[in-house]
Structure 1
């Protein structure tokens, strides 16, 4: 009888998980449909915004370098060639895929809420009380990563890559897919990197990471961050430093987060009655 109840409990968890996944997929699907309906606005004002010479980042960088009397290519940004669509179905498929990716990005807080709803019944009242801010903090960091990628990394990278030329005998004619993939990969990649404090929080909770470990390997982390910055940005020092600084700040915040978790665990251990 006990085995049957156990089996039913397991099946009940699977059924509950299925409905959480269904609701999450529905949210992505609905937002994706809305984005697909307004695909022209989404492309012109978001996905292709970095190809406009009056993009706000180019203007800010131009004014910044001009203030210090430095010549900058950001003051004369231009994209003469249009993107190329090589297949009859390419624009349609790209619009569908972009709507799906942006649907995931915009529904991220709801996806976290569904995840929290699934795991919260297995938490204690104290754990539930302390985890209520998880959705807000994780979503805030995620969208900070989106903003940083969209307004800093993407324009710097696109400006450099579109103007990079080995020889005048080579002409840059980029496809629609390559440009959109570059932008969406940056958005998702950087936003995931911005979740570092949340990741460190959970790794500390389960005992895989400690503040001492993070401090000990701080120099190693610096090297890794610089390598990541070199991968996702143009090969110049200024761009790499611009990208590396917020990630290093997040690493230091992660050390503080890990320290707080350890202190709370030690405090709870002291309060718990000894057997």
Structure 2
């Protein structure tokens, strides 16, 4: 009996020599680098490295004593720190295009049911990371800096170093950005069969403890920022369990879906 179209190898005739793969990878890396360079050039002229740093420092400056400013303890810090922020911003601005290049390189080697899984994960993981960073900047920073300044003695004038502030901001952005990736991790683990949906549900209590431990380690020692990280992680874990059930249902291989239908 002849194979049906759904049983045919969807990758038939798509194999390419190894050197050709390397050349395609090189081309896509070059395109990604060019996109980041273009974004950096655009940001250099508008709004510029200085205003970018001012924007990043705004949550802290708003809670400093009147007349206080950030300081630079290194000779080259006023040049290097805004430049680092410019490059970081350029990468984030070009990130959708960079991820598209990654997707375009990987997609030809995937079956159609695998593409249904990978592309939504790439898009959703990017969106969730940006949401985590925005949540940190617009909500958490204000609470954290207000808490820290409330404990500062009146005899001390706060004048944070710009390099130390940049390091703090990047670590917090990374912590919250990765924390908001919890649903993606849950979906991938469930879809790969590493853990079942039932085990994920039973692990719920342990995850709450883990979330609060992580929040206590990566955030400043104040209740607000710890809750701001731990509570969203717990909520996102539940969303991940729900999303995993949908992904498992809609991204099965054709043969597996047919067998399940026949057995039901």
TM-score by length of 2: 0.79
Indicate if the aligned counterparts of 1:234 and 1:240 stay in contact, CA closer than 8 A.
Answer: yes
Gaps of 5+ in 2: 1-14
Q: Secondary structure at the match of 2:68?
A: coil
1:32 to 29, 32, 40: 40
Indicate if the aligned counterparts of 1:83 and 1:174 stay in contact, CA closer than 8 A.
Answer: yes
Alignment partner, residue 95 of structure 1: 82
Shift, 1:186, TM fit? 1.6
Indicate if the aligned counterparts of 2:68 and 2:157 stay in contact, CA closer than 8 A.
Answer: no
Query: What count of residue pairs does the alignment treat as equivalent?
Result: 244
Alignment partner, residue 216 of structure 1: 202
Shift, 1:130, TM fit? 5.3
User: Relative contact order: is structure 1 or structure 2 higher (C-alpha 8 Å, sep ≥ 6)?
Assistant: 2
Shift, 1:239, TM fit? 3.4
User: Within 1, Cα distance between the matches of 2:125 and 2:237?
Assistant: 15
Alignment partner, residue 237 of structure 1: 223
User: Within 2, Cα distance between the matches of 1:86 and 1:42?
Assistant: 20
Alignment partner, residue 158 of structure 1: 145
User: Within 1, Cα distance between the matches of 2:200 and 2:88?
Assistant: 33
Gaps of 5+ in 1: 1-6, 54-75
Note the alpha carbon deviations across 1:182-228, whole angstroms, 9 max, x for none. 12222232112212222322233322232223222222211121122
The equivalences for 1:167-206 within 5 A come to 172-206=158-192
Alignment partner, residue 25 of structure 2: 17
User: Within 2, Cα distance between the matches of 1:262 and 1:135?
Assistant: 16
Alignment partner, residue 67 of structure 1: none
Note the alpha carbon deviations across 1:97-132, whole angstroms, 9 max, x for none. 111222222222222211111110011234335544
Indicate if the aligned counterparts of 1:160 and 1:234 stay in contact, CA closer than 8 A.
Answer: no
